Amino acid sequence: MSIRVRFIVVIGVLSLVASLALAYSSYKFSVKNAMEDAKTQGAIVFNMIDSSRLYFKHSQRPLVAELVEEDRFYPEIMSGFVMTRGVWEIFEKRFPGYKFKQATIDPLYLPNKADGDELKLIKMFGENKATKNSEGIMTKNGQRFYYFARPIAVTEGCLRCHGTPEEAPKDQVEIYGTETGYDWRKGEIVSTSIVYVPLQRAMTAAKKSATSLFVMGAAGIIVLMGVIWYFLSSGVVTPLAKLQRKTTQISLGKELDEDIGVSSKDEIGDLAKAIDRLRISTAKLLERCAGK
């Protein structure tokens, strides 16, 4: 393998490794930024929903309770869960992809039934009462989400609807039945409000960015190797080949009256001058020998 080829191979391998490292670093950096953005978005969306729920709980529901008969139940104006769900349905139309769920162990509204991952969260909140929230990455139906969750503890007010079917408003029993959503106990963690922020788009963008960076790096490597190949050929390999041929001819006593023909002002030029001096010395030596 020639020096030129070996040099190009070394440069190519090192450049390829550098491009891969740069692309990987770019991907990791983009993913980190995506996680930070998702975390911020999740906290903002969650607090918006939670603020709506708290306003309803402390300001609206007490007034509604004074105006509505004790046994009557209008979910849209009396249930914090229903109110929150309604707010989210409007939000989701404007920002598709985001998800919100009031995941509950034993809900009145069956779509709120907690799945396996959500049950683990509720259990964790129940075992660690000091934990106020949880966040991280969760996969749902093959899609990755950044989730932000807070526990919901049963209060005295919750027991009006979730105590026993006999004590619950009649309208509620007619709407939801008596099979689920009852026998809650004050202080228990039975549910978690959880916001899911989609990560697929951000992850795809991170991969595209890393791929584009690698492709540009690879293209740059090809151009660089082409330039190096050209300059090695014109500035090193061709002059060396010429010097090698001239040196061979001189060693055979030929072309002693011809100039070396390499005049570059670098190390190769210095080598050419040295060989040219050798040519002159050889020519003089042969002349002396011939004179004898």
* Model pLDDT, residue 122: 95
CB atoms within 10 A of CB 284: 11
* Model pLDDT, residue 1: 63
Give the chain as a 3 state SS string. CCHHHHHHHHHHHHHHHHHHHHHHHHHHHHHHHHHHHHHHHHHHHHHHHHHHHHHHHHHHHHHHHHHCCCCCCCHHHHCHHHHHHHHHHHHHHHCCCCEEEEEECCCCCHHHECCHHHHHHHHHHHHCCCCCCEEEEEEECCEEEEEEEEEEECCHHHHHHHCCCCCCCHHHHHHHCCCCCCCCCCCCEEEEEEEEEECHHHHHHHHHHHHHHHHHHHHHHHHHHHHHHHHHHHHHHHHHHHHHHHHHHHHCCCCCCCCCCCCCCCHHHHHHHHHHHHHHHHHHHHHHHHHC
Give pLDDT < 50 ranges for the chain.
none
* Model pLDDT, residue 261: 67
Q: Tokens at residue 161, please? A: 């609807």
Alpha carbon distance 160, 260 (integer Å): 106
Residues 231-265 have pLDDT tens digits of: 877 777 777 888 888 888 777 777 777 777 666 77
* Model pLDDT, residue 65: 75
CB atoms within 10 A of CB 137: 11
Task: Tokens 């061709």: give the residue.
Answer: 238
* 55-90 per-residue burial string, b: 16 or more CB within 10 A, e: under 16: ebeeeebeeeeeeeeeeebebeebbbbbbbbebbee
* Model pLDDT, residue 194: 92
